Structure 1
Amino acid sequence: MKKNVFLFLMLLLSALTFAQKTVSGKITDEDGVAIPSASVTIEEPGKDAILAYAITNSKGEYKISFTSSEPNVDLKVKAFNQKSVTKQISNTDQTLSFKLESEATEIKEVKLKTRMITARGDTISYDLKAFDSKSDRTLADVMKKIPGVEVNADGTILYQGNAINKFYVNGKDLMEGGYGTINNSLPKDAVQKVEVLENHQPVKILQDKVPSDQAAINIKLKNSVTMTGRGEVGTGFGDPWLWNVKLTPMFFGQKSQWVVNYKTNNTGEQVENEGNILAFGNRYEGRRINASQNDWLNVENASTPNLPVKRYLMNSVHYLSANYLTNIDAKKEWELKASANYTNNAVERESYSQTDYFSTPQRPIASRVTQNIFNNFYTDKAKGELIFTKNAKKGFFKNTTSFSQYWNADRAVANRTDSQANSLRTANEAIESPTTSFQNSLSTIVPWKEKMVNVLSYISYQTDRQTLDVSPATYLTIPGFTTAAGADFVRQNLRLKTFEANHSANLGFTTKGWTFTPEIGFNFKTTDLVSDLFNITTIPSANPINQTPASAYSNDLSYTTATPYGSVGVNYKNDSWMLYANFPVNSNNIKADDPVRNVSKSVNKVTFEPNIFAQYSFASFWKTSVNANINNNFGEINTAYSGFLMTSPNGINAMDINNPIPQNNNKSAGARIEYRNPLNNLFFNVNYRLSDAKRNLISNPIINSAGYTTMQYIERDNHVLTNSYSAEVGKYFPKFKTNASVSYSNNTSKSDAFLDNISYTNKNNSQSYGFKFNNTYFSWMSIDYNASISRTKQINSGELNTNTARKGFTHNLGVFFYPIENHTVGFNWDQVNTSAGDQKYNNGFYDVSYQFTWAKKKIDFELKWLNIANKKVFETYDINTNNISYTRIQLRPSQVMFTVKFNFK
């Protein structure tokens, strides 16, 4: 590990050493008048490759940095109606100004030809037509092929491996981070280009004061006023009857924008998460979250495979959403945004597992447990949000109010057989879990003379009610517990009420490029937990926490965190350097009270939690950065209560009254170097991170021969050390219309662990290799190919010695043929192979499609046959710390769909 750190630091040092050559100056005409928009390039003599470039500003000034090992380089100056100049200069820092001679530029023939990738300042623009294929229809289809850009399975857009912070359409943020709907449904024909805004600070008053290392995406449409959208209506053959409907009209104007989205299907397509917030802006905009339930209680869940969701999801979903934005003042500074969505979803799932548990001192005899689990998951939720925003150079205001309501319910039928009892047990499991959530976030920045005053306020209130029933009671054989005599069922009730308030104020002032922001704030959070566990009791001879008061089956806990703090933010930005840091001092006051059970725990601790980020840009195309941070976490109420809680029919958490409040200290540091050159379409990045997490509690699960678990915690200092590095290289080859990238990642973690009262050290190493390739060179064919290879090795040493390894290979091949104009034949191949020990499982899936396009109306008629091999189960084999498991998961059968696809305009 030290060797890896040394090599990476040497790489950074070498880059910084070569990055000290800068040439600056001014370009004028013969009369001394400044020439704007002249291009200045640096090239190595005898080579047709640009090392760096710059464009003169309105004053004719330029500044260009470059890296070269040559003693001399060529500097070239070009401008319209001026004679070009080439001069060989020494590879040193210098100031050079030029007077260009007038020379009329003769244009023999006018040809409009746009570059596929262009750069100006921190903006890189991609011409969408350069990357699309005949089979692409939406923005997302093309975004996946743009060099330097990656689209994850959940819809998150990454640039150079990092998530974006904003997604704009014509410069407006309609979706407020929930951009999946537009990305998946905006027709590609409506888009002129995609712009990547590097180092994007979304708050205008903070631009040039508070830097950002994140990028944003701006979708520039062909027309300033656009009515568009995408629709699909499909039906299919299967059991049951299949349907798929997508209707997403959109309007993008200069004053207002809106998107309405309705999607429903039972074909395995997951559309209900399109509204999730994927880009969060920055802290000065306030706080926004993806509201979610505190789902402490769960029925036993059937396994899910490592496959595209469409292969296994047995669903029936209805998802409706609407987003609206309008300017409410003449200057177009104030915006009102309103959004709402509703989801109704029913999911079926089924899996079979066979688990062989190794013998331990707790379990002298090895055992085998088999399980069949059948699930029905019901999701019923609604969300509404209202946002007022003013984002101007002279001030900022944003207030976000959101409300969410869940009416969820889960069901399970579980069959379990273990070799010790040699009997089949069947349980019916049910959970009801309504949740209500409300948040309001306010942030305002007001200029005060030469300073800025920022006030932030966040308030949240949420209630969760969960009831888990398991019948018959005899299904449960949890270590240390037995069911009450004559009981028909076991029930766990849980109620949570959570209130959170965060308030702060800071004053920002700028001097000589530096911005200092002293801040004071107060964070408060309180959670009330009430729980009751019925019809179960402990076995005195095997009491998990050495106590049997009746109140151990109930909790009435209040958990409060109050944290006043003070901090100083430091920011700096110039042409080459970007720095931001924060130095907070927190007074943490945590208290847990349960008078009924005589529980009273507290922590009062002052912590210093700095975070630092520095970035250096050089030679036009290079960036290198380092970052480090320290933070402390004192756990949540789910690790602070004392007593018994059945979180699943598979086990009980037994929290000891003597355990202290958790205290976790996390330290991490990282470095990164990246290169993005739009002139030769080459992008790459290298990353390294080292982290150390120190904890005062460690989990100690006790597992019996039937596979049931009692989770305990032991007070003992322990560490989790993580060392990871990754690299990715991507290049677009315009001559061959090919985009290709390769990636590699290596992650090693070392942690202390307990299992069945046995102490051991766990070391896990995972490596992955990725390759992506798409080609549109041939007019009659296009190819998309993604592949990855993974290797995982786990070594447990100490009292528990095991050595396990696992390998995996996945790929997706999409080939489209265009034999005749407006006719498309497609073939798709998903392959997932896994191996562990001497067991290997190969899972292949194949689809074919035919599409006819009515070009005049821009309507597609598609016939698709999915899973033509009719593969009905997915099989996998795992060697784990204390067991070997075989899993078989039910998949969607073969199905045929006919779909009509169209644009709204």
Structure 2
Amino acid sequence: MKKNVFIFLMFLSSVLVIAQKTVSGKITDEDGIAIPSASVTVEEPGKDAILAYGITNSKGEYKVSFTSAESNVDLKVKAFNQKPLTKQISNSDQTLSFKMESEATEIKEVQLKTRMITSRGDTISYDLKAFDSKNDRTLADVMKKIPGIEVNTDGTILYQGNAINKFYVNGKDLMEGAYGTINSSLPKDAVQKVEVLENHQPINILRDKVPSDQAAINIKLKNSVTMTGRGEVGVGMDPFLWNVKLTPMFFGQKSQWVVNYKTNNVGEQVENEGNFLGGFSPWEGRKSNTSQNDWLNVETASVPNLPIKRYLMNSVHYLSANYLTNMDKKKEWELKANASYTNNTVEREDNIETIYQAGDFAGSKIVTSTRNRFFTDKLKGELIFTKNAKKGFFKNTTSFSQFWNADRALATRQGRIGDESVESPTSSFQNSLSTIIPWKEKMINFRSYINYQDDRQTLQVSPANYLQIPYKLPKTNENDPDQFGTINFLPGTNAIQSFRLKTLDTSHTANISFSTKGWTFTPQVGLDFSSDKLDTNFEGVTVSGTPNFNGSEYENNLRFTEVNPNVSLGINYKSDTWSLFANLPVNFNNIKAEDDLRRVSKSLNKTTFTPNFFAQYSFASFWKASLNGSISNNFGDIKSAYAGYMLLSPAGFNVMDPDNPIPQINTKSVGSRIEYRNPLNNLFFNVNYSLSDSKRNLLSAPILDPTTGFTLIQYREQDNHSTSNRFAAEVGKYFPKFKTNASITYNNTTTKADAFLNNDQFENKNNAQSYGFKINNTYFEWMSFDYNMSISRTKQDSRGGTLGINNGYNHNLAVFFYPIENHTVGFNWDQLNTKNGNNKYNNAFYDVSYQFSWAKKKIDFELKWMNIANRRVFETFNLNGQLNALEYTRIQLRPSQVMFTVKFNFK
């Protein structure tokens, strides 16, 4: 592994060394007047390939960096109404200025041609028409085909393998990171082009001072004022099916809004469109998806590695509204209001055979089956005030969320049946404030974050004797070996685990920034404080309400507090070729965990230095190379401190030894990346390598009872390590002559971790490799297709032997035929295969569709038959490294269904 890191860094260094060739100068006409917008290209003699290019600024100045092994290169200059010139120059750093001769440009015929991909500075523009097919209707349909851009299944947009930091429409950030709704519902016909803003710093006052390594997406519409949107109404049968999508949108110069209502029972997970997908820099404050502290859970059926539409048994209603308006004439102040409501019911069912492979219980088999119903009822509101000007920044985000969720399960384990339920109401309030104030040549930044959350959960299992769970008996002498017993409940008893957690998190920082000659230094002071109050109880109660089992060892009354004063120094540098930033924080960690009932009294006072850095070098117009590294510390949370037994799941109790210290996890990581993006020949690729090492002082030591299938999770004080190294590469190329976009990906990840089970210490090692290939083609007038394929191989070693090798093959083929104008016939094929030893399972799914387009009204009528083969069960083998077991799983899928849908644009 170290050898691989050394070779990669040597390669990176060699690239940087040979890239130090820069030509700069000034282009003028015969009278010495500067010529702006002249193109300057560097090419190898005798080869029709551009090494690098540049565009002169308003002063006629240019600067081009390139890499070549040739001793000489050709420098070519072109400008409108000027005679082109070519000069052969040496392959060295130099300054060259040119005077161009006037030459009238004769235009014989006017032909307007738009390049598919153009680049200017840090902005790459894609002409959407160059990549769409006749069957595409929305922005997301086309976005998936653009070279260098990926759209994940959760809606996250990646550029060159990294998530974007902003999603704009006509330069405005309406969605605040929850851009899935616009991407999936904005008609492609409303879009002029998609712009990628590389190294995008979203805060205007920080541009050219604090660099960014992330890109943003700006959707440029055809009209500055656009009323548009997308709608669908679909019905089906056996049983009655519905799918309704109504998403009107308005994008104006002063205001923007999107209203979205979607409901279906056909397996589309529309409620996740409102999820926060990223887009907040630390300078803007904090924002994340609000979620419950899900401590208590019913036993949950597995989900297959399939497109979610194949197995999601749902009935969902999702309503959201997003509004943005400018509050002043300069359009610096913005008000945003966002609200959403989700009501969803999901059903799920599986059957699992777990076969233990090693240790004392090798050959033992546990059979379980689970049927679930999950109920989600969630309301969220958000109000945001923003000023983003060159002379100041202000942002305040206030949000409120309320959950009324509930889960149900009917579980069967080794012949025993348990009826399980969890009720989990949650209230959450957050406020994030950040402001940057210019003061002479300096900037002062204040940030404040407050989060309060109240979680209440109740887990009930009936009958209680379903829980044949091992638990540790009290010791009469500390030197006695561990002894375990089983709880004996009276007939007709229900087991009830109650839980309440009140959480308060606050963070306040102040800093001042000094800038000089491209450098920005930012000393900062801060104070982080968090407080968690945990109350739990477990008891057995008869149907009449009489307790027949309880004990103080099943109670918790724990308070966990963290106080972290901190100081740091931020260092940033920005130039034409270099972007680097580093943060050097010192944290004074003070942690306490106290529970008099459980004799818990733990504390930790430790000073830590947790630096992180990032450096990026841009060269030869198309290349970027970067290095990053960090050291971090994590001291656990309230989940690592409770000492009373808790039934977090009917599968087993969890408990922490009160004598164990507060967990300490120290992680060191380093990574490198080389990126190439050339819009002139439509080629994009990136190579990444990362390495991380984590050291812990506590080791999970679960105790397995193979006769019942239940597990007692506990921990022991013992230093242990986990390491991970990952290599990834991606190459994408668009072939305009064939209207084809293709990409290849490769990932190799190896992880090692110490483990402990049933008094047997061992090491888990996991190696996962995957190969991916993607291609789409719109060359033929009568056909278009998309094909995605991935091959995976996972090998797990445990207890000194190989637990198993799991091979997988997945592909998706979508073909559309256009036999007659406005008529489309579609075919979709999902194939998912798994293999482990002699066990092999092939899962194939087929869909067909017919669509008629009423072109004049822009309305589509679609008839679709999904899962033609009516495959009802998904079969696969999985490897469980923690339990040293093979799991044969059968999961219920959606049956065959037929849908008729009308699709339309709002304008």
TM over 0.5: yes
Deviation of 1:89 after TM superposition, in Å, equals 0.6
Contact 1:487–1:535 under 8 Å retained in 2: no
Deviation of 1:701 after TM superposition, in Å, equals 1.0
Quote the residue 2:65 is aligned against.
Answer: 65
Task: Write the distance in 2 (CA, Å) between the matches of 1:346 and 1:388.
Answer: 35
Quote the residue 1:544 is aligned against.
Answer: none
The correspondence of residues 530-545 of structure 1 with structure 2, limited to 5 A, is 530-535=535-540
Gaps (5+ residues) in structure 1?
418-423, 537-547
Task: Write the distance in 2 (CA, Å) between the matches of 1:795 and 1:500.
Answer: 40
Q: Alpha-carbon deviations, 1:202-253, whole Å to 9, x = none? A: 00000000000000000000000000000000000112x0000000000000
Q: Alpha-carbon deviations, 1:266-287, whole Å to 9, x = none? A: 0001000000010232000010
Contact 2:641–2:658 under 8 Å retained in 1: no
- Are residue 817 (structure 1) and residue 822 (structure 2) matched? no
The correspondence of residues 470-481 of structure 1 with structure 2, limited to 5 A, is 470-480=461-471, 481=486
Deviation of 1:630 after TM superposition, in Å, equals 0.3
Quote the residue 1:420 is aligned against.
Answer: none
Deviation of 1:512 after TM superposition, in Å, equals 1.1
Q: Alpha-carbon deviations, 1:564-584, whole Å to 9, x = none? A: 000000000000001100000
Larger deviation, residues 383-392 vs 872-881: 872-881
- Are residue 659 (structure 1) and residue 660 (structure 2) matched? yes
Deviation of 1:478 after TM superposition, in Å, equals 1.1
- Are residue 284 (structure 1) and residue 283 (structure 2) matched? yes
Deviation of 1:867 after TM superposition, in Å, equals 0.3
Contact 1:836–1:879 under 8 Å retained in 2: no
SS of the residue corresponding to residue 832 of structure 1 reads strand
Task: Write the distance in 2 (CA, Å) between the matches of 1:549 and 1:525.
Answer: 31
Task: Write the distance in 2 (CA, Å) between the matches of 1:511 and 1:159.
Answer: 31
Deviation of 1:664 after TM superposition, in Å, equals 0.5
SS of the residue corresponding to residue 828 of structure 2 reads strand
- Are residue 38 (structure 1) and residue 35 (structure 2) matched? no
Task: Write the distance in 2 (CA, Å) between the matches of 1:762 and 1:356.
Answer: 18
Deviation of 1:386 after TM superposition, in Å, equals 0.1
Contact 2:357–2:803 under 8 Å retained in 1: no
Amino acid of the residue matched to residue 432 of structure 2? S
Task: Write the distance in 1 (CA, Å) between the matches of 2:363 and 2:49.
Answer: 66
Larger deviation, residues 873-882 vs 325-334: 873-882
Quote the residue 1:640 is aligned against.
Answer: 641
Deviation of 1:883 after TM superposition, in Å, equals 1.9
The alignment yields a C-alpha RMSD, in angstroms, of 1.1
Q: Alpha-carbon deviations, 1:874-901, whole Å to 9, x = none? A: 0012343422221111100000000000
Larger deviation, residues 88-97 vs 365-374: 365-374
Amino acid of the residue matched to residue 557 of structure 2? D
Deviation of 1:837 after TM superposition, in Å, equals 1.3
SS of the residue corresponding to residue 31 of structure 2 reads coil
Quote the residue 2:512 is aligned against.
Answer: 507
4+ runs deviating over 4 angstroms: none
Task: Write the distance in 2 (CA, Å) between the matches of 1:528 and 1:888.
Answer: 40
Task: Write the distance in 2 (CA, Å) between the matches of 1:187 and 1:553.
Answer: 57
Quote the residue 2:688 is aligned against.
Answer: 687
Quote the residue 1:448 is aligned against.
Answer: 439
- Are residue 845 (structure 1) and residue 850 (structure 2) matched? no
Tell me how many residue pairs correspond in the alignment.
883
Deviation of 1:708 after TM superposition, in Å, equals 0.3
Quote the residue 2:501 is aligned against.
Answer: 496
Q: Alpha-carbon deviations, 1:581-619, whole Å to 9, x = none? A: 000000000000112222110000000000010000000
Gaps (5+ residues) in structure 2?
472-485, 542-548
Task: Write the distance in 1 (CA, Å) between the matches of 2:880 and 2:501.
Answer: 34
Task: Write the distance in 2 (CA, Å) between the matches of 1:708 and 1:274.
Answer: 37
Contact 2:332–2:387 under 8 Å retained in 1: yes
Deviation of 1:487 after TM superposition, in Å, equals 5.7
Quote the residue 1:425 is aligned against.
Answer: 416
Quote the residue 1:434 is aligned against.
Answer: 425
Q: Alpha-carbon deviations, 1:34-67, whole Å to 9, x = none? A: 0000000000111111100000000000000000
SS of the residue corresponding to residue 304 of structure 2 reads coil
Quote the residue 2:93 is aligned against.
Answer: 93
Deviation of 1:825 after TM superposition, in Å, equals 0.4
Q: 1:465 aligns with which of 424, 441, 456?
A: 456
SS of the residue corresponding to residue 46 of structure 1 reads coil
Amino acid of the residue matched to residue 213 of structure 2? D
Contact 1:178–1:277 under 8 Å retained in 2: yes
Task: Write the distance in 2 (CA, Å) between the matches of 1:425 and 1:569.
Answer: 59
The correspondence of residues 568-579 of structure 1 with structure 2, limited to 5 A, is 568-579=569-580
Deviation of 1:148 after TM superposition, in Å, equals 0.3
Deviation of 1:535 after TM superposition, in Å, equals 2.6
Larger deviation, residues 387-396 vs 756-765: 756-765
Amino acid of the residue matched to residue 536 of structure 2? S
Amino acid of the residue matched to residue 323 of structure 1? N
Q: Alpha-carbon deviations, 1:769-808, whole Å to 9, x = none? A: 000000000010001000000000111245xx44311000
Task: Write the distance in 2 (CA, Å) between the matches of 1:367 and 1:748.
Answer: 29
Q: 1:415 aligns with which of 409, 412, 416?
A: 412
Identity %: 72
Deviation of 1:549 after TM superposition, in Å, equals 11
Task: Write the distance in 2 (CA, Å) between the matches of 1:667 and 1:883.
Answer: 31
SS of the residue corresponding to residue 713 of structure 2 reads strand
Deviation of 1:289 after TM superposition, in Å, equals 1.1
The correspondence of residues 323-362 of structure 1 with structure 2, limited to 5 A, is 323-358=322-357, 360-361=359-360
- Are residue 608 (structure 1) and residue 609 (structure 2) matched? yes
Quote the residue 1:625 is aligned against.
Answer: 626
Task: Write the distance in 1 (CA, Å) between the matches of 2:879 and 2:325.
Answer: 56
**Closer/same/farther in 2, CA of residues 701 and 25 from structure 1, 3 Å limit:** same
**Closer/same/farther in 2, CA of residues 487 and 595 from structure 1, 3 Å limit:** farther
Quote the residue 1:541 is aligned against.
Answer: none
Task: Write the distance in 2 (CA, Å) between the matches of 1:486 and 1:803.
Answer: 41
Task: Write the distance in 1 (CA, Å) between the matches of 2:265 and 2:247.
Answer: 18
Contact 2:633–2:666 under 8 Å retained in 1: yes
- Are residue 884 (structure 1) and residue 893 (structure 2) matched? no
Task: Write the distance in 1 (CA, Å) between the matches of 2:371 and 2:555.
Answer: 30
SS of the residue corresponding to residue 142 of structure 1 reads helix
Contact 1:167–1:279 under 8 Å retained in 2: no
Amino acid of the residue matched to residue 243 of structure 2? N
Contact 2:463–2:491 under 8 Å retained in 1: no
The correspondence of residues 2-81 of structure 1 with structure 2, limited to 5 A, is 2-81=2-81
Contact 1:202–1:281 under 8 Å retained in 2: no
Q: Alpha-carbon deviations, 1:642-691, whole Å to 9, x = none? A: 12010000111022111111110010000000000000000000000010
Task: Write the distance in 2 (CA, Å) between the matches of 1:508 and 1:359.
Answer: 59
Quote the residue 2:793 is aligned against.
Answer: 791
Deviation of 1:366 after TM superposition, in Å, equals 3.8
SS of the residue corresponding to residue 597 of structure 1 reads coil
Quote the residue 1:404 is aligned against.
Answer: 401
Quote the residue 2:546 is aligned against.
Answer: none
Task: Write the distance in 2 (CA, Å) between the matches of 1:834 and 1:408.
Answer: 34
- Are residue 757 (structure 1) and residue 733 (structure 2) matched? no
Task: Write the distance in 2 (CA, Å) between the matches of 1:376 and 1:120.
Answer: 53
Q: Alpha-carbon deviations, 1:287-332, whole Å to 9, x = none? A: 0110000000000111110000000000000000000000011110
Task: Write the distance in 2 (CA, Å) between the matches of 1:878 and 1:82.
Answer: 68
Quote the residue 2:319 is aligned against.
Answer: 320
The correspondence of residues 25-424 of structure 1 with structure 2, limited to 5 A, is 25-239=25-239, 241-358=240-357, 360-361=359-360, 363=361, 366-417=363-414, 424=415
Task: Write the distance in 2 (CA, Å) between the matches of 1:484 and 1:6.
Answer: 61
Deviation of 1:552 after TM superposition, in Å, equals 1.5
Contact 2:512–2:522 under 8 Å retained in 1: yes
Task: Write the distance in 1 (CA, Å) between the matches of 2:315 and 2:772.
Answer: 34
Task: Write the distance in 1 (CA, Å) between the matches of 2:358 and 2:501.
Answer: 39
Task: Write the distance in 1 (CA, Å) between the matches of 2:580 and 2:458.
Answer: 50
**Closer/same/farther in 2, CA of residues 892 and 486 from structure 1, 3 Å limit:** closer
The correspondence of residues 681-760 of structure 1 with structure 2, limited to 5 A, is 681-705=682-706, 706-760=708-762
Q: 1:775 aligns with which of 774, 777, 782?
A: 777
Deviation of 1:626 after TM superposition, in Å, equals 0.2
Quote the residue 2:563 is aligned against.
Answer: 562
Task: Write the distance in 2 (CA, Å) between the matches of 1:668 and 1:188.
Answer: 41
Provide TM-score, normalisation by structure 2.
0.96
Contact 1:837–1:879 under 8 Å retained in 2: no
SS of the residue corresponding to residue 330 of structure 2 reads coil
Deviation of 1:370 after TM superposition, in Å, equals 1.3
Task: Write the distance in 2 (CA, Å) between the matches of 1:358 and 1:708.
Answer: 17
SS of the residue corresponding to residue 17 of structure 2 reads helix
Amino acid of the residue matched to residue 292 of structure 1? S
